[in-house]
Amino acid sequence: MTLDELADFLISTSAPAGCMDLSELDGFLAGLIAGPVEVPPREWLAEVWDNEQPDYQNPAEADAVLQAIFAHFATIETALDTSPLVYAPILWQDASGTTVTDDWAVGFMQAVSLRPEAWQPALADEDASLLLIPIASLAEMGVPESERGEQALTDEALEGLIQDAEQVLPVCVLGLRRFWRDRAQGVGMVRH
């Protein structure tokens, strides 16, 4: 199953109504890969489907969909580990040609929300938190205005971020991945 076929399945009537679209899935998988701890596939797949089961036509389709998701996970992982960085987030363009970034960012933050305690060191670290702010700010755009918290970025900065999202988001994801790797290896940490 190709990525386009997976995208079509995710928005089809066979998929649960609340499941992720391809952009949200891409951000979610990037968040899992860049994160501090491994989350078991059984747990994160439930999130993809909004804790419901897709209505597969047959076992072969179920297998093809799962293989496509796992293949995309591996593709993102490889792209983040390639130098120079080749990961490119999957972002939509709306009818007016504006890049839609909030789906991707909501997906990434959903991955963060699976292990909020484990992500705390990144929030407490000045450099790592700066990598999360753009993603969290874009995710806020997916929330109704009445439910949004205080905006971390000015409207002008947010507009610039949306325009530059294709360049900024991969750097943020890679930076967070490196933060957790360095932390796991004790790099840059003061030992007593």
Tokens of 151: 């905006």
SS3 174: helix
| Mean pLDDT score, 186-190 | 56
Percent of the chain with pLDDT over 90: 65
Tokens of 164: 């530059």
Nearest C-alpha neighbor of 130 from the set 181, 80, 63, 175: 175
What pLDDT digit, counting tens, does each position of 80-130 carry?
998 888 999 999 888 888 888 889 999 999 999 999 999 999 989 988 988
CATH number of the domain at 3-185, please? 1.20.120.740
Domain ranges of the chain: 3-185
Q: What is the pLDDT of residue 190?
A: 43
Q: In the beta sheet, which residues pair with residue 93?
A: 99
Return all residues near 41 (Cβ < 8 A) that are at least 6 apart.
Answer: 70
In this prediction, residue 191 has a pLDDT band, given cuts at 50, 70 and 90, of very low
Which one has a higher pLDDT value, 163 or 34?
34
